[in-house]
Amino acid sequence: MKYSGWPENGELVVGKIDEIEDFGVFVDLEEYEDKRGLIHISEVASGWIKNVRDHVNVGQTVVCKVLDVDESSQQIDLSLKDVNDHQRSDKIQDWKNERKADNWMLLAFGEDVSDEQYASVANELLGQFGSLYDGFEEAAIHGESALEKTDLDDDEITSLVETARENVSVPYVNVTGYVDLESPNPDGVDDVKEAMQAGEGDDEVPDEVDLSVTYVGAPEYRIKVQAPNYKTAESELEASAARAREAIEAVGGEGDYHRERHTDDE
């Protein structure tokens, strides 16, 4: 995705060097449509520069700071020396993330998505999350609820969430579900405890997954799962609920799995 407007003074931008002259370097801005900037020789590096080509090469990707924008003359002045290593690394990563998100948009809505729909969805994600990538990441972690404050329609939200959960890698995700466990037996309390233990799974739960079953309020118990990705978390949540239900039903009790806590609980 490329922006149609102009960068702002002080903004960090990613560009590709396409021309080198004795007086400076011309840079095509990767994030903006048809925008080109100039790094004056004095802004290429600190100290005296004998030959600009000793510091940069044609085709090189660089991170620059915007010094000045003159829309009337179509001129953007840039600085290379005012960007430190930490800023450069962070900006390059953000840029790469946005390129990934741009591809995910095409996966979500198809290669033939109209410019109008793409812009509409992108603007909603940018407005809510600040970047396309952050929007997809939130959708991967929190699902439809992450997008409920946007003006996206249900089909668009579904497409974004499905694409996000298939493509976005996040450090971990948390999911929660609830299971009702009841036993009519005289020792029903022990039956429920055993069903809870079955839900926790012990050796059946992968090492990278943290799963717990805790008491909420009879007959409801909370299952919390932390996992490296959504698919694993959701799978382990459902498996935990199934184990608990099977255990309680095996002794004549009843089990019911649901994702939301009962509204009459405190």
Q: What is the structure's pLDDT at 171?
A: 74
Q: Which strand ranges, in their side-by-side order, compose the sheet holding 210-217?
A: 210-217, 220-227, 173-182, 254-258
Q: What is the structure's pLDDT at 266?
A: 41
Q: What is the structure's pLDDT at 263?
A: 54
In a 3-state reduction of DSSP, which class is residue 221? strand
Cα 204 to Cα 193: distance, rounded to the nearest angstrom: 18
* Residue in the structure block whose two tokens are 């997008």: 147
Residue 234 has pLDDT above 50, yes or no: yes
- For 32-90, write each residue's pLDDT tens digit: 999 999 999 999 999 889 899 999 999 999 999 999 999 999 999 999 999 999 999 99
Q: Are 261 and 220 in contact (CB under 8 A)?
A: yes
pTM of the model: 0.64
Topology classification of domain 86-167: DNA polymerase; domain 1 (1.10.150)
CA-based nearest residue to 75, from 34, 38, 110, 121 = 38
CATH superfamily for 12-83 is: Nucleic acid-binding proteins (2.40.50.140)
Question: In the numeric block, which tokens belong to residue 266?
Answer: 């405190």
In a 3-state reduction of DSSP, which class is residue 236? helix
Q: What is the structure's pLDDT at 203?
A: 81
- For 124-153, write each residue's pLDDT tens digit: 999 999 999 999 998 988 889 899 999 999
- For 23-33, write each residue's pLDDT tens digit: 999 999 999 99
Q: Does domain 173-258 have CATH number 3.30.70.1130?
A: yes
Q: What is the structure's pLDDT at 141?
A: 80
Q: Are 16 and 61 in contact (CB under 8 A)?
A: yes
Residue 187 has pLDDT above 70, yes or no: yes
Annotated domain spans of the chain: 12-83, 86-167, 173-258
Mean pLDDT of the chain: 92
